[in-house]
Structure formats: C-alpha cells, structure tokens
C-alpha cells in the first residue's frame, strides 16, 4: 500500500553525502561512549586506591614510584620551605579564574621534597598585587591526596617563572625538570593536595583524575541525535507522494 502512494527519489551524490555524514555521526557517538567508559574505569581505579591503607611518605619504599602511589591518601611529616612559594596561574574553579598556592615540603629525615598544593584562591583585583602567603613554621604532619602535576597552562614568553618578591614566584605551567632545577632539591614527581587545608582563604580543588564522564554521555547523545535527524531529513526529501491522475469516465 505504501509503495502505491509513494516513490523513491534518491540521487547518487546526495545519497553518498548522507551516508558519509550519517556514518561519521554514528562513529562519533560510539567514540564518546568509549571515552566515557575509559574515564569510568580510571575513576574506579582511583576509588579503589582511595580505599587502600594510608601511605606514609616518611617510611614508604615506593616514595619515588609515582604510578604505584598515585591517587592514594597519604601522610607526610616534615617542614615547609617558605622561601619558594609558587603561584600556579590560570587555574579555573567553578568558572572563576584564580591560582593555586604551592609550597615545597621537606620530608623529615630524608633528602626528598614534595610539592604541597595548599589550595585555590580567586585572582586579586590587579595582576600586580601579590597574595599574602603566610609562612608555615615548624614540623607539620600533613594528610592529603597524591596527584599528578596539572598539565594545563601555557608559557607566556620564554621565562615561565616570574619573580614577584623574595619568596613568591608565579608560574603559568608546571614542568617537572624546570621545577627540580628551580627548587634545587630532590623533588618527587607528584604533588600532595592537602586535606584539611591550612589556609582559611583557600579552596580544595582536588578532583578525580578523569572527571566529567557524564559530558561524554551527553556528547554521545548529541551525535546520535544528529544522525537520527539527518536520517529523517534524508527520508523526507527522498520519498515523495506519487501524482495519481484519475481517468475521466
């Protein structure tokens, strides 16, 4: 009955263009689903590591093995090196521009230094203003989460390290080799986001290593919706009602 009323009107070039676009949209949809699955697997591994026993950096034999202790809860005893505070610039939190305060921390009875992330603060009113970073004196026992150095950020010009005063330095990005040379210590290849924070003005921005898998599900739905919409348009354009001419009696 359907084919008695309608006829197909598909031409070669538009049909090829439709097939190429339709297949691309479908593949992009499945690719986003795969990305979401990968992120979920990474975050599941993170959750399992969070449940592991608290690792003590003063006694751990894996202190230099970043992959073995990454994303685990940690405890460390030592003292802050207050003469080289680092402002990590261009850090976005809740859609607000700001910076993280990083201070090297000498692990007690060892030659190692670990970079401590003291939290995020919003940008000051003017760029030439220097945040008031208080010195943290004496021996401290800190707890927090072991994480990679942030990979975001760009170097504005050749010099990535900007001296603000004798003890505060601003960086656009973190480069491990550059940090080791700048700090002149045996720096560990990760940082610790301390929790609880020691600065009242700061916010804890520690997050999952691969957050926002829900975004990938959303993108996947969009690509599949594009494919479905394109299919409907293609069918609507390519199928038309037959012109039926009734004979006169």
Is 247 inside any structural domain? no
Is 151 inside any structural domain? yes
Task: Summarize pLDDT for 38-78 with one digit per residue, the tens.
Answer: 888 878 877 788 888 899 999 999 899 988 898 899 999 99
Shared-domain flag, residues 84 and 178: yes
d(Cα 88, Cα 65) in Å, to the nearest integer?
A: 24
Is 202 inside any structural domain? no
Q: Taking the model in full, what pTM does it have?
A: 0.74
3-state secondary structure of 171: strand
d(Cα 139, Cα 81) in Å, to the nearest integer?
A: 11
From residue 69, give the alpha-carbon distance in Å to each of 45, 79, 110, 137. Answer: 12, 21, 18, 27
d(Cα 65, Cα 122) in Å, to the nearest integer?
A: 33
Shared-domain flag, residues 17 and 120: no
Is 33 inside any structural domain? yes
Shared-domain flag, residues 21 and 106: no
Shared-domain flag, residues 40 and 116: no
3-state secondary structure of 145: strand
In the predicted model, what is the mean pLDDT of residues 103-114? Answer: 96
CB contact set of 80 (below 8 Å; sequence gap of 6+):
103, 104, 105, 106, 116, 135, 136, 137, 140
Domain that holds residue 80: 72-194
Phi then psi for residue 66, to 5 deg, are: -60, -45
- Say what the pLDDT of residue 157 is: 55
In the predicted model, what is the mean pLDDT of residues 103-112? Answer: 95
Shared-domain flag, residues 162 and 78: yes
Shared-domain flag, residues 114 and 187: yes
């Amino acid at each position: 009955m359907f084919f008695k009323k309608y006829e197909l009107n598909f031409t070669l070039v538009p049909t090829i263009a439709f097939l190429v676009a339709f297949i691309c949209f479908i593949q992009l949809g499945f690719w986003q689903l795969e990305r979401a699955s990968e992120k979920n697997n990474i975050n599941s591994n993170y959750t399992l590591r969070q449940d592991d026993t608290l690792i003590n950096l003063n006694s751990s034999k894996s202190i230099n093995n970043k992959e073995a202790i990454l994303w685990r809860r940690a405890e460390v005893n030592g003292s802050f090196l207050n003469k080289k505070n680092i402002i990590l610039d261009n850090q976005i939190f809740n859609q607000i521009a700001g910076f993280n305060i990083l201070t090297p921390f000498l692990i007690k009875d060892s030659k190692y230094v670990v970079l401590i992330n003291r939290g995020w603060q919003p940008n000051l009113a003017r760029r030439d203003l220097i945040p008031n970073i208080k010195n943290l004196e004496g021996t401290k026992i800190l707890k927090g989460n072991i994480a990679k150095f942030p990979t975001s950020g760009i170097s504005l010009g050749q010099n990535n390290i900007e001296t603000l005063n004798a003890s505060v330095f601003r960086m656009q990005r973190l480069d491990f080799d550059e940090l080791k040379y700048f700090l002149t210590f045996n720096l560990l290849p990760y940082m610790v986001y301390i929790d609880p924070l020691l600065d009242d003005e700061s916010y804890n921005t520690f997050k999952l290593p691969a957050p926002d898998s829900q975004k990938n599900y959303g993108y996947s739905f969009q690509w599949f919706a594009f494919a479905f919409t394109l299919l409907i348009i293609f069918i609507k354009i390519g199928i038309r009602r037959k012109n039926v001419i009734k004979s006169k009696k």
